[in-house]
């Protein structure tokens, strides 16, 4: 049976009309689910028993549960079990500006990035809308407080699960529900060009981050197979359209991999690639994993790379690291659980 958390408020309106009930129940039920956070349909007091019975015939509430939490001072890592026994993970980070949750969008991933732990196991399936929504609801419940920011950067390629992703955004952004502002939501993609173009026309101001990781096709082809389908020229053209249509600032993520993409030449090439775009570059110290051979660039070289970008007037930050101690980075918890 499907979860009620798969439905946007608009879907709920259609549902109530389809069972010959009242459209306004959608707002009421939405409030019970996302504001009052009921644990059972029986706790709903302003919708008639018969209607609730009908809902219960078609929908369940939760279809995921937390099975493990690892906590460090500024980061919590959650492992979830889905109804079919699969596992996904989400990471909660405490910042000075609030709390952000990094959620998963698929079970496994088909993008095959060479440095990435999550991609070592092929995609099993897309996550349902509810399975994304519940990562947030269950973490807020465990935490006892609200989350201010959401990033879709966990396991999976969100733009390979585009329709569910957008419904998920509609639900968490809905002012009558969890109400997380679009500007507090970020989605990261490895660069699926047709979906970037579609995203350019979205009526919500969600932030976009692009996993770039290399400044030229030769190198990018080696570490990110998606580049063979959508080479840099196509990607950059799509991003220019995105920037023009949305007037927003774009983030490029760039993992620094020792002796692979961290040379001064690479930095200069990167400058050329992004010069003039309304963007900034987030340099990511690589999280080494036991199963993959890439090594982390040392701090001195990271700073050299950073300086080159800075001197050339490119906006640049270095990502703060979370969760090293609790083996919490990028797909590691799930790998541990499933002994991949
Ligand atoms: N598929 C999407 C979102 C998930 S990956 C994407 O590619 O953007 C989220 C980010 O983590 C990506 O930038 C990815 O390249 C990066 N990443 C993957 N493995 C990593 C590792 N071991 N250390 C640091 N960053 C990593």
**Domain range list for the chain:** 2-60, 64-338
CA of 8 to the centre of ligand 1 (A): 29
CA of 69 to the centre of ligand 1 (A): 21
The CATH number that domain 64-338 falls under is 3.20.20.70
168 close to 132: Cβ distance less than 8 angstroms: yes
Reported confidence tier of residue 323, pLDDT bands at 50, 70, 90:
low
Q: Is the pLDDT of residue 339 over 90?
A: no
Q: For 178-187, what is the mean pLDDT?
A: 98
User: Quick one: what percent of the chain has pLDDT higher than 70?
Assistant: 94
Q: Give the closest residue to 319 by CA, choosing from 76, 110, 100.
A: 100
Which residues, judged by CB distance below 6 Å to any ligand atom, belong to the binding site of ligand 1? 111, 113, 115-117, 153, 157, 188-190, 211, 253, 255, 284, 286-287, 289, 329-330
CA of 39 to the centre of ligand 1 (A): 34
Dist CA 33 CA 52 (whole Å): 13
Q: Is the pLDDT of residue 328 over 60?
A: no
Output the average pLDDT for the chain. Answer: 94
Asked, colleague to colleague, whether 2-60 and 64-338 share their fold, the answer is no
Architecture of domain 2-60: Orthogonal Bundle (1.10)
Tell the residue number behind the tokens 């350019």, with chain if given. Answer: 200
CA of 53 to the centre of ligand 1 (A): 44
Residues in CB range of 320: below 8 A, 6 or more apart: none
Nearest Cα residue to atom 4 of ligand 1: 153
Reported confidence tier of residue 215, pLDDT bands at 50, 70, 90:
very high
Q: For 115-133, what is the mean pLDDT?
A: 92
Q: Give the closest residue to 319 by CA, choosing from 151, 196, 108.
A: 151
Which two three-digit tokens encode residue 50?
């018969």
Nearest Cα residue to atom 12 of ligand 1: 211
pTM for the structure as a whole: 0.95
Q: For 270-276, what is the mean pLDDT?
A: 97
Runs of H (alpha helix) within 101-250: 129-143, 162-173, 193-200, 217-223, 226-229, 232-246
Which of 45-49, 105-109, 172-176, 291-295 is least confident?
291-295
Give the pLDDT score at 334. Answer: 61
DSSP-derived pairing of the beta strands 250-256 and 149-152: unpaired
Nearest Cα residue to atom 25 of ligand 1: 286
Nearest Cα residue to atom 19 of ligand 1: 116
Residues in CB range of 209: below 8 A, 6 or more apart: 151, 153, 186, 187, 188, 189, 250, 251, 252, 253, 282
Q: Which residues are catalytic?
A: 89, 330
Give the pLDDT score at 336. Answer: 57
Q: For 164-180, what is the mean pLDDT?
A: 98
């Amino acid at each position: 049976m499907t979860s009620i958390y798969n439905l946007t408020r608009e879907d709920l309106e259609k549902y109530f009309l389809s069972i010959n009930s009242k459209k306004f129940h959608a707002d009421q039920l939405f409030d019970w689910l996302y504001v009052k956070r009921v644990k059972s349909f029986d706790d709903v007091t302003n919708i008639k028993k018969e209607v609730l019975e009908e809902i219960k015939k078609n929908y369940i509430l939760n279809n995921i549960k937390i099975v493990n939490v690892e906590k460090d001072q500024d980061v919590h890592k959650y492992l979830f079990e889905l109804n079919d026994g699969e596992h996904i993970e989400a990471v909660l980070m405490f910042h000075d500006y609030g709390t952000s949750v990094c959620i998963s969008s698929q079970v496994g991933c088909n993008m095959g990035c060479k440095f990435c732990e999550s991609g070592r196991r092929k995609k099993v399936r897309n996550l349902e809308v509810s399975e994304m929504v519940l990562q947030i609801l269950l973490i807020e419940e465990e935490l006892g407080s609200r989350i201010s920011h959401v990033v879709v950067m966990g396991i999976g390629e969100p733009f390979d699960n585009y329709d569910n992703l957008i419904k998920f955004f509609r639900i968490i952004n809905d002012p009558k529900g969890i109400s997380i502002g679009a500007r507090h939501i970020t989605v990261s993609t490895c660069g699926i060009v047709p979906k970037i173009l579609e995203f350019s026309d979205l009526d919500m101001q969600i932030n976009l981050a692009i996993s770039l990781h290399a400044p030229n096709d030769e190198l990018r082809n080696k570490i990110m197979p998606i580049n063979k389908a959508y080479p840099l020229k196509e990607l950059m053209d799509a991003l220019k359209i995105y920037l023009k249509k949305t007037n927003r600032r774009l983030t490029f993520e760039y993992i620094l991999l020792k002796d692979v993409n961290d040379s001064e030449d690479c930095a200069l090439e990167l400058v050329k690639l992004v010069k003039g775009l309304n963007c900034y570059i987030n340099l990511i110290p690589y999280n080494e994993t036991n199963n993959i051979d890439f090594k982390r660039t040392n701090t001195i070289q990271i700073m050299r790379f950073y300086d080159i970008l800075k001197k050339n007037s490119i906006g640049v930050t270095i990502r703060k690291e979370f969760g090293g101690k609790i083996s919490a980075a990028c797909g590691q918890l799930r790998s541990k659980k499933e002994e991949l």
